[in-house]
Amino acid sequence: MSLKIALQMDPPQSIHIEKDSTFVLGLEAQKRGYSLFYYSPDTLKLQNGAVTAHAAPLTFKRKKADHCTLGDFKETDLTDFDMILMRQDFNDPLSYASTTHLLDHVTDQVLVLNNPTGTRESPEKILITHYPDLAPPTMLSRNLSDIRAFQKEHSDLIMKPLNGFGGMDVYRIKPDDGNLEAVFDMFCRLHRGPFVVQKFIPEVKQGDKRIIVVEGEPIAGVLRVPQKDSIRANLAVGGSAQIAEITDREREICARIKPELMKRGLVFVGLDVIGDYVTEINPKSPTGLQHIYKLQGIKCEEAIWDAYEHRLNRFKAAA
């Protein structure tokens, strides 16, 4: 079966082939005989009900400084593809949401994964709040008095912006910390919407586990361990990757959230766990595949593509 797969992503020339998860997803697609195409979300256009983008044939190969080949770009109707994978970085929430609205126009004719509506309606730090017993004590608020009351109840806090990513602006507010108001003022200047305030989980010093979840099932995980005297375990800010096993508690968590993930069309997500608690459910371009392979020899991309193919078969059967 030959399929045309569009990768909506950042420029492929700039990816790090030893770390990038989209790269190995693309290699696995090529291994299965599929044709890849690249387009930037900036080239999307909706006109008279049709959604197009400037797309080019793309070939990946694991060769440094020569890892991709792009053909000629041409304006292409997105319904010409069999599948579209949203894999761009999540660094502009408004722009990302706009992209999902455009893709909503083609989801009855081409399979888009993860589902754009489901992704848009599942912010990383909010989806888990529907399962309060699985998350650490959490409050979303932009009100200083609310945050002070939460601090009085839970003492040691983490504050972070609702739409933050990659460990951006994550602060620990210790008991009687005089910096709470200063951090609050800075957040008000830099970030719109409510802030995420959570009880500090001491187990973060042993690591923040990223679990690759495919159709609600945990496939493998990587432990992201923060540097000494840091609480930020993200690999992008200096955390180190270590082997992680999936615990019974984490399988229980996945079983609880599986029906909702499948209903929303969130085939491939990254689940972030500290201790016994889920801190985030990431449906937007999850990462970690290459770290897991290097540590454990598990090719998560194979399970992901098996799930993609199963979804596509169901999609075509329902058409």
Assess whether 272 carries a catalytic annotation: yes
Assess whether 232 carries a catalytic annotation: yes
Say how many Å lie between the first and final Cα of the chain, rounded: 18
Q: What are the φ and ψ backbone dihedral angles of 245, each rounded to 5 degrees?
A: -100, 150
Q: Around Cβ 209, how many Cβ atoms within 10 Å?
A: 26
> Inter-axis angle of helices 21-31 and 300-318, to 10 degrees?
60
Task: Give the CB-side neighbour count of residue 263, counting CA atoms within 13 A.
Answer: 7
Out of 20, 120, 282, 311, pick the active-site residue. 282
Assess whether 245 carries a catalytic annotation: no
Out of 10, 28, 114, 160, pick the active-site residue. 160
Assess whether 224 carries a catalytic annotation: yes
Assess whether 160 carries a catalytic annotation: yes
Note the residue count of the chain: 319
Tell me the C-alpha to C-alpha distance, in Å, between residue 36 and each of 29, 50, 110, 199.
Answer: 8, 21, 15, 44
Which has the closest alpha carbon to 308: 24, 25, 20, 12? Answer: 25
Assess whether 142 carries a catalytic annotation: no
**Could you please report the per-residue DSSP string of 227-279?**
PTT-----GGGT-EEEEEPPPHHHHHHHHHHHHHHHHTT--EEEEEEETTEEE
Out of 232, 264, 284, 299, pick the active-site residue. 232
**Could you please report the per-residue DSSP string of 98-126?**
HHHHHHGGGTTTSEEES-HHHHHT--TTT
Assess whether 282 carries a catalytic annotation: yes
Rounded Cα gap, residues 163 and 168, in angstroms: 9
Out of 10, 82, 215, 272, pick the active-site residue. 272
Rg (the chain; Cα; Å): 20
Out of 280, 284, 299, 301, pick the active-site residue. 280
Out of 120, 209, 224, 284, pick the active-site residue. 224
Out of 20, 82, 87, 125, pick the active-site residue. 125
Out of 87, 120, 209, 210, pick the active-site residue. 210
Which residue has tokens 């679990």? 211
Assess whether 210 carries a catalytic annotation: yes
Rounded Cα gap, residues 48 and 298, in angstroms: 45
Residue positions annotated with a catalytic role: 125, 160, 210, 224, 232, 272, 280, 282
